[in-house]
Amino acid sequence: MKLFYSNNSPYARKIRILIDEKKVPVTLEKVVLADKNCTIHEYNPLAKVPILVINDISIFDSPVIAEYIDYKSGPLYLIPSDFDKKILVKRWEAIADGLCDASVAIMLEKRRPISQQNTDVFEKQMRKIKLSLQRLNEEIEDKEYYLEDTFSYADIAVGCALGYVKLRYPEIDFKSEYLNLYHLHEELMKRQSFQETAPEPYL
């Protein structure tokens, strides 16, 4: 199996952490999506990462890849087989991915010429970020981990989203505004899988 990823993609980071936590033998191949010679579209017509290639078949996107890896690699499962618990995990992943989507939307808008930037986009997407952080912060209150106080893929997904938001918006003071998420992120960053995949500051 081979996983294509880009360095600071929070979506790919989820999978890299899952692979590390489950000790799955996967070859990692880093790509630069902005490189004009990048041929990632040959594996995914949407030209997005992560992509998992198995016997010449490519699987995308991250929620699908995560289920495949977790199921195929066997116990201990980080995505519960119990349907109700699984939905709770996937729900947290959906919020986490939405956080990342909103952050990326702001980043792309900032790359436009200043005269063409739309302040409505900034306000709309930042509102999504703040409301999502508030909801997650409330739901992790008095817990070490989200689902039954046990480390799961829900924590991986949200931990990666938090890392990305912290990278993009260092002005957000998690310790004073979202203390429960601050503690969750601090706890997750003790794990080797999170340390080795930490996003790198942008130039």
Sign (positive or negative) of CA dihedral 19, 21, 25, 29: positive
Written as six digits, the tokens of 161 are 């989203």
Would the pLDDT of 65 be above 90? yes
Instruction: Tally the C-alpha atoms within 13 A of residue 32's C-alpha that lie toward its C-beta.
Output: 4
Measured in whole angstroms, how far is the alpha carbon of residue 76 from the centre of its chain? 21
- In tens, the pLDDT along 118-156 reads 999 999 999 999 999 999 999 999 999 999 999 999 999
What Cα–Cα distance (Å) separates residue 60 from each residue in 3, 11, 64, 108, 203?
A: 10, 11, 6, 22, 29
- Cα–Cα distance, 99 to 93 (Å, whole number): 10
Q: Is the pLDDT of residue 203 over 80?
A: no
pLDDT band at 202 (very low <50, low <70, confident <90, very high): low
> Which residue ranges make up each domain of the chain?
2-72, 83-193
Across the chain, what does the average pLDDT equal? 95
User: In this structure, which amino acid lies at residue 77?
Assistant: Y
CATH 1.20.1050.10 fits 83-193, yes or no: yes
Which strands, in side-by-side order, build the sheet including 27-30? Answer: 27-30, 2-5, 51-54, 57-59
- The fourth-level CATH superfamily of domain 2-72 is Glutaredoxin (3.40.30.10)
Rg (CA), the chain: 17
pTM of the model: 0.94
